[in-house]
Structure 1
Amino acid sequence: MIGFVFPGQGTVRVGMGGWLRRDPVGAAVVARADELLSEPVSQLCARGPLDKLVDTSHAQPAVIACNLAALAILRERGVEPDIVAGHSVGEISALCAAGVLDVDTALRLVATRARLMADLPETGGMTAVLGLTPQRVEELAAEAAGPGEPLVVGLENAPDHTVVSGATAAVERLVALSGAVGARKVVALKVSNAFHSPLMAGALDGWAEAVRATPMRSPRVPVVPNATGEPTTDLPTIVDALITQLTARVRWTATMRVLADAETLVEVGDSKVLAGLLRGVGASCVSMADPAAVRRLRRPEPAA
């Protein structure tokens, strides 16, 4: 069994997707993204500037363009998944891999998501807490939240790697509390707002309308949505999970446990982040950030 995992917004960097754009198949996908998006991403990925690339309105389309270029390269080699998942906005790439969306539709949908989220007022932030369980971080977030200052667990990235998301003042209180109870490390994320939190509610109606208006097909293989952490081939469940993901927790630890049964896991995009997280739960994952690793990939022959 082959599992594909797709990275999200936190993996963007200047120079991303370089070798994918040098491959003719990958280059064609990125060129198509440049045609469809209101602002081309190829030069932004290649040269930056970084402050523009990491802006939500550009970062989300950029990472999806790279993910889809990587997917096209695997497909051209005959490597197809048996199960898929994507981290945060990477879930749109996963739906493309599962046959729910075509490439053009995925690019248009991520552009809408990015615009809706970027248009919200910047009232919050996100911070990673390492060395504490998600349950302990959830308790601290509840303690740090205040009236009109929500704070929640936005992402469960690994058993000891949790990201909180919410009002800036509440995040600052959480940082102080985490240090007092022995967190190994606390790192502020370079994001424009509090993703996967109640502060994204202002974009939810527009996102729901866009998702429900998007043509989709039933998946060819199971998808593990962020909002549930459970594999499904039911299209209405996938649609609902994609909508609620905007304000809901990313249950990546649960997702990794589902994927760990795959004989081969591939991080499809120009990133090693998810491969690193998977190692933390004892699973090996090939990263397409290494072109040599991609050349070794082959679709397993069916058993006799």
Structure 2
Amino acid sequence: MLGYLFPGQGTVRVGMGAWLRRRPVARDRLDEIDAMLSRPISPLCARGPLDRLVSTEHAQVAVTACNLAALAVLTEEGYEPAIVAGHSVGELTALHAAGVLTLAATVRLVETRSRLMAAAGRGEGQAVRGGMRAVMGLPVERVEELAEAAAAPGEPAVVALENAPGHVVVSGALPALDRLERLAADATKIVPLKVGDAYHSPLMAAAVPAWAAAVAVAEMREPRVPVVPNVSGEPTTDPGTLRRALVAQLTGRVRWTRTVGAVDAVAPGVEVGDSKVLAGLSRRAGARCLSLADPATLRRLAREVAA
């Protein structure tokens, strides 16, 4: 048994997907996805430029394409998940892996999500510019206190990502984030993230109505295996709960530490994509996780299954 963990937007880089294209089943899946998109993503993944690839409208599509291709590799190898979860936009691939969304619906939704969030990040319907900063070395409770102290009317600051113990990301208005950085003298380090806006915060509210409408009309089937939504960190097989969680996630917190714990309680995890980020975060949380981007992982999985 395996728990599938699908990475999110922060894992993109020029050259992503190169190892996947060496596998015919993954190459075919990437070509299939390119044909579904309004503009193929594979050339941008392969050659960049980086500033275009990391932009929200491209990054979310790029990471989803690689996640889906990596999933095709595992399926060809005969593996099936016992439980699934995805970090932020990775949750869409998790829903596909669980049988909730078709491939076409997954690609359509990720294109819609990326477009709406990019529009919000450019300030369309938004009065203040936002960003995100990783706060290292502090418990989430302390970061919540700092965010509350740094926030002001019209300038929110909230915990957006509980990535791992001592690795918390705050999202909000740039002036509030500057105040938080001055207040957080007890943090080991504070790192600004290279993102377009304050994702998983109230500043994404402008994107919610259209996103909710897109999710409402998407066909969602009952999952074959439990899915752990970001906003709850609790496994569920209820389609209505999954639909509501997908909408709430846009402005809600990614409770990744809790999510990883829920997956690890069922089965060891495998990061399914072209990234090793989630494997690292899992280890920080004391959970088991390999990365499919590590060439040794498939061989190791085969040995463990044989044993």
Work out the CA distance in 1 between the residues paired with 2:82 and 2:303: 11
Matched, 1:274 2:278: yes
Matched, 1:291 2:295: yes
- Which residue of structure 1 lines up, in the alignment, with residue 231 of structure 2? 227
- Which residue of structure 2 lines up, in the alignment, with residue 89 of structure 1? 89
CA contact (8 A) 2:82 2:267 kept: no
CA contact (8 A) 1:80 1:299 kept: no
- AA aligned opposite 2:58: H
- Which residue of structure 2 lines up, in the alignment, with residue 205 of structure 1? 209
Question: Where does structure 2 lack aligned partners over 5 or more consecutive residues?
Answer: 124-128
Work out the CA distance in 1 between the residues paired with 2:63 and 2:136: 25
Which of 134, 142, 148 is matched with 2:140 structurally? 134
Work out the CA distance in 2 between the residues paired with 1:146 and 1:234: 37
Per-residue deviation, 1:300: 7.5
Question: Where does structure 1 lack aligned partners over 5 or more consecutive residues?
Answer: none
Deviations 1:168-214 (CA, angstroms, capped at 9, x unpaired): 11011111111x2x101100000000000000000000000001111
Work out the CA distance in 1 between the residues paired with 2:39 and 2:176: 35
CA contact (8 A) 1:79 1:298 kept: no
Per-residue deviation, 1:292: 2.6
CA RMSD of aligned residues (A): 1.4
- AA aligned opposite 1:226: N
Work out the CA distance in 2 between the residues paired with 1:64 and 1:291: 20
Identity %: 62
Work out the CA distance in 2 between the residues paired with 1:48 and 1:114: 18
Q: SS state of the match for residue 247, structure 1?
A: coil
Work out the CA distance in 2 between the residues paired with 1:187 and 1:130: 8
CA contact (8 A) 1:99 1:219 kept: yes
Per-residue deviation, 1:161: 0.8
CA contact (8 A) 2:33 2:65 kept: yes
Q: SS state of the match for residue 217, structure 1?
A: coil
Report matched runs for 1:19-168 at 5 Å.
19-120=19-120, 121-122=122-123, 123-168=129-174
Per-residue deviation, 1:301: 6.7
CA contact (8 A) 2:131 2:198 kept: yes
Work out the CA distance in 1 between the residues paired with 2:236 and 2:205: 25
Work out the CA distance in 2 between the residues paired with 1:127 and 1:17: 27
Work out the CA distance in 2 between the residues paired with 1:170 and 1:141: 8
Q: Which runs of 4+ in 1 moved over 3 A?
A: 298-302
Aligned residue pairs, count: 300
Matched, 1:244 2:248: yes
CA contact (8 A) 1:79 1:297 kept: no
Say if 1:280 and 1:69 are closer, same or farther in 2 by CA, change over 3 A: same
Deviations 1:146-183 (CA, angstroms, capped at 9, x unpaired): 111011001111121110000011011111111x2x10
Of residues 30-39 and 243-252 in structure 1, the stretch that sits farther from structure 2 once superposed is: 30-39
Work out the CA distance in 2 between the residues paired with 1:191 and 1:61: 15
Q: SS state of the match for residue 296, structure 2?
A: helix
- AA aligned opposite 1:166: G
Per-residue deviation, 1:33: 1.6
Work out the CA distance in 1 between the residues paired with 2:226 and 2:213: 24
Work out the CA distance in 2 between the residues paired with 1:171 and 1:39: 35
- Which residue of structure 2 lines up, in the alignment, with residue 3 of structure 1? 3
- AA aligned opposite 1:125: G
CA contact (8 A) 1:5 1:267 kept: yes
Work out the CA distance in 2 between the residues paired with 1:276 and 1:266: 11
Per-residue deviation, 1:298: 3.9
TM-score, with structure 2 as normaliser: 0.95
Q: SS state of the match for residue 269, structure 2?
A: strand
Of residues 185-194 and 35-44 in structure 1, the stretch that sits farther from structure 2 once superposed is: 35-44
Work out the CA distance in 2 between the residues paired with 1:32 and 1:295: 27
- AA aligned opposite 1:132: L
Per-residue deviation, 1:295: 3.4
Say if 1:94 and 1:299 are closer, same or farther in 2 by CA, change over 3 A: farther
- Which residue of structure 1 lines up, in the alignment, with residue 126 of structure 2? none
Q: SS state of the match for residue 25, structure 1?
A: helix
Work out the CA distance in 1 between the residues paired with 2:303 and 2:82: 11
Deviations 1:35-93 (CA, angstroms, capped at 9, x unpaired): 11122111111110000000000000000000000000100111010000000000001
